[in-house]
């Protein structure tokens, strides 16, 4: 960064050094360390680059009042998160959990109910950059793909598009329900008991979006009553997931510690977006990538 932008003075710190922050014009962050108080104090601040797609803890109201530009790295997660999702789906139909358990006990068991992704129906809640990549990969397995977004706008790899108002129409036919939805007022507690009542008892729920999409007690009831076959959960209402939480020990739940987006390519991809936007900033241009709508929160 220093070599490419020699006219810019960079300061690198772990955590906010308030004295330096208050003199900054541009601030890079993962988006979890800013407060309204800091935003109102930083009268030189013009642009915040969030090196994350999640913006749950950003003080948007203060940023909006101050007229601060906020951008993020939306889109860089699509490759690792889509691969993670397809991996979970393959793990399910190919009975990997049972195969691993049998290997440990040296059990030569060939009567496992092996399945296929071929011909299965995939419902993607939030078919943006990440959901679109999940759909693209799913097409390699000849799956039917149904996407859900706010606008009803077409997506390249979706056979059908529904909106947040009529997504329930697809629940009875979905073999896999994948949520990539962010945490907003519209999505919080979106799924309730009636949604799980509509799902097949063989359906699989995969959440790689945000944990507050469904209340724990709602999901627990659905799993305990076998309304669905399995839940693969990478995000939770409270993180880290408490050691006493029943999800850990449930046979029909797979817990992963919010790692679906992790990859060694995370920061290099993030900085490519930042470099593009910094060139735009220096030129006083307008072609910024990933400008955040602070009213929507994404």
pLDDT digits (tens, 9 = 90+) for 163-205: 999 999 999 999 999 999 999 889 999 999 999 999 999 999 9
**DSSP assigned state of 59:** -
Model confidence band, residue 245 (pLDDT cutoffs 50, 70, 90): very high
Residue 290 CB: number of other CB atoms within 10 A? 19
- Catalytically active residues are 210, 239, 258
Query: How many Å apart are CA 214 and CA 281, to the nearest integer?
Result: 39
Query: How many Å apart are CA 181 and CA 163, to the nearest integer?
Result: 13
Q: What helix, strand, coil percent values describe the chain, rounded to 5?
A: 35, 15, 50
Look at residue 53 in the predicted model and tell me its pLDDT.
77
Residue 234 CB: number of other CB atoms within 10 A? 21
Alpha-carbon distances of 177 from 124, 160, 234, 237, rounded to whole Å: 6, 14, 14, 18
- Percentage of the chain with pLDDT > 90? 91
In 3-state terms, what secondary structure has residue 122? strand
Query: How many Å apart are CA 211 and CA 181, to the nearest integer?
Result: 10
Asked whether the predicted pLDDT for residue 272 surpasses 80, the reply is: yes
Q: What is the tens place of the pLDDT at every residue in 50-77?
A: 998 778 789 999 999 999 999 999 889 9
Look at residue 196 in the predicted model and tell me its pLDDT.
98
Of 266, 279, 274, the closest CA to residue 81 belongs to: 266
Model confidence band, residue 228 (pLDDT cutoffs 50, 70, 90): very high
Mean pLDDT of the chain: 96
Look at residue 69 in the predicted model and tell me its pLDDT.
97
Mean predicted confidence (pLDDT) in 265-275:
96
Burial class of residue 255, CB neighbours in 10 A (0-12, 13-18, 19+): middle
Q: Could you tell me the maximum CA-CA distance found in the chain, to the nearest angstrom?
A: 68
SS3 assignment for 136-175: HHHHCCCCEEEEEECCCCCCCCCCEEEECCCHHHHHHHCC
Mean predicted confidence (pLDDT) in 25-48:
94
Look at residue 172 in the predicted model and tell me its pLDDT.
98
Model confidence band, residue 297 (pLDDT cutoffs 50, 70, 90): confident
241 contacts 247 by C-beta, under 8 angstroms? yes
Look at residue 15 in the predicted model and tell me its pLDDT.
86
Look at residue 52 in the predicted model and tell me its pLDDT.
84
What order of strands is seen across the sheet that includes strand 160-163? Answer: 160-163, 144-149, 121-125, 176-179, 204-207, 230-233, 253-255
Q: What is the tens place of the pLDDT at every residue in 149-165?
A: 999 999 999 999 999 99
Of 46, 2, 1, 37, the closest CA to residue 18 belongs to: 37
Q: What is the pTM of this model?
A: 0.87
Of 273, 278, 220, 208, the closest CA to residue 248 belongs to: 220
Model confidence band, residue 99 (pLDDT cutoffs 50, 70, 90): very high
Model confidence band, residue 32 (pLDDT cutoffs 50, 70, 90): confident
Look at residue 155 in the predicted model and tell me its pLDDT.
95
Residue 30 CA, distance from chain mean position: 15
Look at residue 77 in the predicted model and tell me its pLDDT.
92
Look at residue 296 in the predicted model and tell me its pLDDT.
84
Of 56, 89, 35, the closest CA to residue 212 belongs to: 56
């Amino acid at each position: 960064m220093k070599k490419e932008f020699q006219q810019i003075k960079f300061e690198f710190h772990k955590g906010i050094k308030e004295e330096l922050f208050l003199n900054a014009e541009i601030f890079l962050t993962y988006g979890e360390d800013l407060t309204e108080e800091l935003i109102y104090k930083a009268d030189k601040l013009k642009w915040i680059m969030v090196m994350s797609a999640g913006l749950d803890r950003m003080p948007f109201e203060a940023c909006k009042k101050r007229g601060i530009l906020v951008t993020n790295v939306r889109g860089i997660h699509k490759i690792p998160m889509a691969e993670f999702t397809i991996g979970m789906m393959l793990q399910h139909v190919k009975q990997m959990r049972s195969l691993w358990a049998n290997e440990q006990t040296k059990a030569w068991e060939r009567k496992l109910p092996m399945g296929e992704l071929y011909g299965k129906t995939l419902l993607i809640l939030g078919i943006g950059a990440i959901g679109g990549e999940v759909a693209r990969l799913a097409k390699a397995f000849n799956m039917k793909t149904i996407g859900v977004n706010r606008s009803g706008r077409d997506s390249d790899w979706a056979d059908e598009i529904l909106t947040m108002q009529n997504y329930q129409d697809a629940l009875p036919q979905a073999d896999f329900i994948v949520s990539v939805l962010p945490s907003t007022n519209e999505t919080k507690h979106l799924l309730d008991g009636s949604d799980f009542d509509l799902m097949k008892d063989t359906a699989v729920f995969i959440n790689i979006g945000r944990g507050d999409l469904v209340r724990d007690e709602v999901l627990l009831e659905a799993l305990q009553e076998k309304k669905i076959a399995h839940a693969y959960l990478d995000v939770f209402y409270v993180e880290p997931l408490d050691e006493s939480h029943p999800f850990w020990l449930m046979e029909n739940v797979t817990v992963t510690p919010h790692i679906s987006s992790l990859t060694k390519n995370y920061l290099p991809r993030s900085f490519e977006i930042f470099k593009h936007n910094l060139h735009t900033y220096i030129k006083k241009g307008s072609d910024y990538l990933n400008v955040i709508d602070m009213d929507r929160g994404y």
